[in-house]
Amino acid sequence: MAHDLTGKTVALLVAPRGTEEPEFVQPREALTGAGAQVHVISTETGEAQTVNSDLDPGGSYPITHAIGDVSADDYDGVVIPGGTVGADTLRASEDVVSFIRTFFSQSKPVAAICHGPWTLVEADAVSGRTLTSYPSLQTDIRNAGGTWVDEEVVVDQGLVTSRNPGDLDAFCAKVVEEIAEGRHAEQSRSVA
């Protein structure tokens, strides 16, 4: 069953450099294809330079908003792609971490793939949650109080996570589904 996201606005985070291209492009296409308006948000304005497999150059994509100019209040969900450098850049930004944390406190859907869950650890939002990620993050997630599992896609009360680009079809389907469902009351328990 297809989910209609008409009237929904979704934040898609991207680092100025180092975000994994398919983990940015495919969710954006799935969201817009379902009718959502997608804002590409980064730590600065301009163009984002993506990568493929962390080392190979990807494409250049316009950033529509700087993190300092947006509020989580204006979005129905947030998607956080991976890419080792990209995710590390995003988690180092206090504004990005605060932005993500607000989605949890407002019980809105949050989705992260590959190295993207690093930002969730930094936001102190994984305690008591079950999630997946790129395997090298499992110790970080466990140390932050989360339960790490090796599955294609994991949904925990509005939190959607996946391991790598190979999981994108399942990830995108669940992201669209969770945003269509709207707020999840249990989401706020992560940051209570």
Please identify every residue annotated as catalytic. Answer: 114-115
What letter would DSSP give residue 13? E
Q: What is the 3-state composition of the chain as percent helix, strand, coil, each rounded to the nearest 5?
A: 40, 25, 30
Region of 70 please: left (phi>0), alpha (psi -120 to 50) or beta: beta
Q: What phi-psi label fits residue 128: left (phi over 0), alpha (psi between -120 and 50 degrees) or beta? A: left
Q: What six digits make up the tokens of 6?
A: 């008409």
Burial of residue 151 (number of CB atoms within 10 Å: 0-12, 13-18, 19+): middle
